[in-house]
Amino acid sequence: MRALRFVFIASFAVLMLAGPAVAQEGHPVKGSWLGVWGPSAEHVNDVIVILDWDGENITGIINPGTDNIEIENASLNPDGWVLTFQAEMQDDSGNTVQYDVEGHIENLAFPDRVITGTWEHARGTGMFEITRQ
């Protein structure tokens, strides 16, 4: 009987400690995201997005490495879980191109959540879909 009580208490303690560790995942957009973007579903490019949350602001980088594009003015609206941000880059002619991006978080309760949406700049629009890694 004493051994059974010990097993019960030990099991309860493990569950109490493991539950919060699994549940505390951080901000819904924080992390590395891999996916595609392009003018249509038939013509897409690979994309990597790194997003962070410092307690007040969402920051990040699109395609880290040689093509760093800083994410600016990012926000997350919990009504519908809509993420919006802007990003500026230089085109081949040296002109600044501003991208406006809006996406909806799907599968919010799961670690492999997805953001799908649209991007827009002065010369066109398109779709994107990124999955959290």
Contact in structure between 50 and 65 (CB atoms under 8 Å): no
User: pTM here?
Assistant: 0.77
Residue 8 falls within a domain, yes or no? no
64 assigned to some structural domain: yes
pLDDT (0 to 100) of residue 64: 87
Q: Give the per-residue pLDDT at 42.
A: 86
The predicted-structure confidence for 71-112, as pLDDT tens digits, reads as follows: 999 999 999 999 999 999 988 899 999 999 999 999 999 988
Total domain count, the chain: 1
Residue 25's pLDDT band (cuts 50, 70, 90): low
Is 15 a domain residue?
Answer: no
What does the pLDDT read at residue 24?
46
Q: Is residue 18 part of a domain?
A: no
Residue 57 falls inside a structural domain: yes
Q: How many residues does the chain have?
A: 133
Helix-, strand-, coil-residue percentages of the chain, each rounded to 5: 15, 50, 30
Residue 35 forms part of a structural domain? yes
Which pLDDT score is estimated for 9?
57
Per residue in 42-71, pLDDT tens? 889 999 999 999 989 999 999 988 789 999
* Distance of alpha carbon 46 from alpha carbon 50, whole angstroms: 14
User: Is residue 51 a part of any domain in this protein?
Assistant: yes
CA atoms within 13 A on the CB side of 82: 8
Whether the CB-CB separation of 65 and 54 falls below 8 Å is answered with no
pLDDT band at residue 2, thresholds of 50, 70 and 90? low
Q: Is 73 inside a domain boundary?
A: yes
| 116: containing domain | 27-132
Residue 123 pLDDT: 86
The CATH number of the domain where 37 resides is what? Answer: 2.40.128.20
Task: Between 76 and 10, name the one with better pLDDT.
Answer: 76
Least confident interval from 6-20, 85-99, 115-129:
6-20
pLDDT at 16 (0 to 100): 54
